[in-house]
Amino acid sequence: MRSRCYAIAASTSMRERAAYPGNFIGSMFTYALFVFIFSRVWAGAYAGASEIAGYTMRMAVWYFIVAEVPSFGFGRFFWTLSRDMKNGQIAYLLARPYDYVGYNFAEKYGGSLVEAGVILVEGLLVGILLVGPPPLAGGAPSLAGGAGVAAEASRALLVGLSLLLAGALNYFLQASIAMTAFWLEENEAFFWIFQKLTLVVGTLIPIEFLPTAAATLARLTPFPYLSYAPARIMVAYSPGEAWSLVAAQALWLVLAAALARIVFSFGSRRLSVNGG
């Protein structure tokens, strides 16, 4: 019964977003501009080298295209959740007959899937225009033949799955930060730190570019699983690595969901509602 309620919340939110396609224009424009500029940055960086840290220029551009999708599609949960808490909307939401964390996840995450999908399709088109198609899935010499097609299909599936997990992980981490508003009214600083760490650890640049110690440390945190994982699967696909990245994402997702529930459980006790 509850899962049906959440499914309806997600699908309503998706339809609501899709009803106003004009709202995507700003994000689409900014995304295309970023991709264009970074394609030029990478062209400059690769002027004297054909490969850096195992990445060719085409891989680096496609990496950026995919790594930016979660930032644009799933990067703003914090603001709506935090706003609900600060303007008192939470008092209304908590009185409803549903689980607050679960319902909000369904509603916010569902809506964001539309924007993420639009950005992904745009990224694929812009990428093809700028640097040609993405590198072929690892191990397949060409698309010709059953093995090549199967590898491409498997990669597409895992990139999609990894993006979905990245979005869900993003939601629960941002929700945990937003719910610090139960204690602190000014909690944006935590989100900014989170946002910038996400940007540096795996969004703007692949983890492999970082110094070895920093890369090792980064892999112990959830940050690479917010954008690095789907981008890495896209540009350097190998089934073994892809599945291990997806498994790590799933593990971090479980931990982040548990963290969000713990923060909510303690934080909601501090809420006092006056008036009607």
Partner 1 sequence: MLGTGRNGPGRLGGRTRAYARFLRDAFVVNLKATLEYRVNFIMQFFGMMLNNAAFAAFWLVLIGRTGAVGGYGFSDVMLIWALVSTSFGLAHVVFGNVRQLGRIIMEGGLDVYLLQPKDAWINVLASRTVVSAWGDLAYGFIVLALMNGTNLERLALFTALAVPGALIFAATFAAAESLTFFMGNSSAVSSALTEFMLSFSLYPEGIYGHGMRWILYSIVPSGFVAFMPLRVFRSLDWGLVPLLYLVAAAYVGLSYWLFRAGLRRYESGNRMDARV
Question: Amino acid identity, residue 260?
Answer: A
Q: Does 236 bind partner 1 (CB under 8 A)?
A: no
Residues 32-91 that bind partner 1 (CB under 8 A): 33-34, 37, 40-41, 43-46, 48-49, 52-53
Q: Which is nearer to partner 1, 104 or 170 (CB)?
A: 170
Distance CA 189, CA 173 (A): 14
| Minimum distance of partner 1 from residue 160's CB (angstroms) | 27
Q: Which is nearer to partner 1, 219 or 268 (CB)?
A: 219
3-state secondary structure at position 52:
strand
| Minimum distance of partner 1 from residue 210's CB (angstroms) | 6
How many residues in the shown chain lie near partner 1 by CB under 8 A?
30
3-state secondary structure at position 55:
strand
How would you class 134 by CB atoms within 10 Å of its CB: exposed for 0-12, middle for 13-18, buried for 19 or more?
buried
Distance CA 120, CA 28 (A): 10
Q: Which is nearer to partner 1, 110 or 202 (CB)?
A: 202
One DSSP character per residue, 260-271 reads HHHHHHHHGGG-
Q: Does 186 bind partner 1 (CB under 8 A)?
A: yes
Among 164, 204, 226, 236, binds partner 1 (CB under 8 A): 204
Main-chain phi, psi angles of 109, to 5 degrees: -65, -40
β-bridge mates for residue 52, sequence order: 55
Binding site for partner 1 (CB under 8 A): 25-26, 29-30, 33-34, 37, 40-41, 43-46, 48-49, 52-53, 186, 188-189, 192-193, 196, 199-200, 204-205, 209-211
